[in-house]
Amino acid sequence: MSVIENGGIMKKVLRFRVVALLLTVTAFSLAFPGAANSAPGNSGNISSSYSNSCATGWVAPASDEMPIRSQARNNATVLERVKLGYIIRCSKHVAVTGDHYNGCGIYDASAWLIVLTDDGVLGYTAMTCWRDFH
């Protein structure tokens, strides 16, 4: 009797998929510990300088209609745009290096924040155009 006949390979593939899913969910939970929570009220303060890596887990855009992209690339698909005055979740103390950009008074920057869209999708946005929300 071969391994395929008794389901050995299929069981291993299924087990691998379950483990991969659990690892993904765990990584997401660690990156966004309060993702299911609603955004804090307007009683907080917005930092005057740009975010250096999402120190608080929440950021506010420095300009209107800030794009959230599918990758840390200037030409990546825009997943959504965030209006001035809104705050969104970001992965605390994390910034990734991506395409270089000029934004919000900073030139030749390449750091991007990892953020969570309203639909629960991970996206990337130019770090220099966001302020930490306290």
**pLDDT tens digits, 5-53:** 455 554 454 454 544 444 444 454 445 444 433 454 445 555 555 666 7
Q: Which architecture does CATH list for 46-133?
A: Roll (2.30)
What are 84-104's pLDDT values in tens digits?
Answer: 999 999 999 888 999 999 988
Of 115, 18, 6, which is closest to residue 71 (Cα–Cα)? 115
| Contact yes or no for 114/94 (Cβ under 8 A) | yes
* DSSP string covering 71-132: SSSTTSPEEEEE-TT--EEEEEEEEEEEEEEEETTEEEEEEEEEEE-TTS-EEEEEGGGEEE
Task: Name the burial class of residue 42, with classes exposed (0-12), middle (13-18) and buried (19+) by CB atoms within 10 angstroms of its CB.
Answer: exposed
Helix (H) or strand (E) holding 69, with range, is strand 66-69
pLDDT at 105: 87
Q: Do residues 90 and 59 make contact, with C-beta atoms less than 8 angstroms apart? A: yes
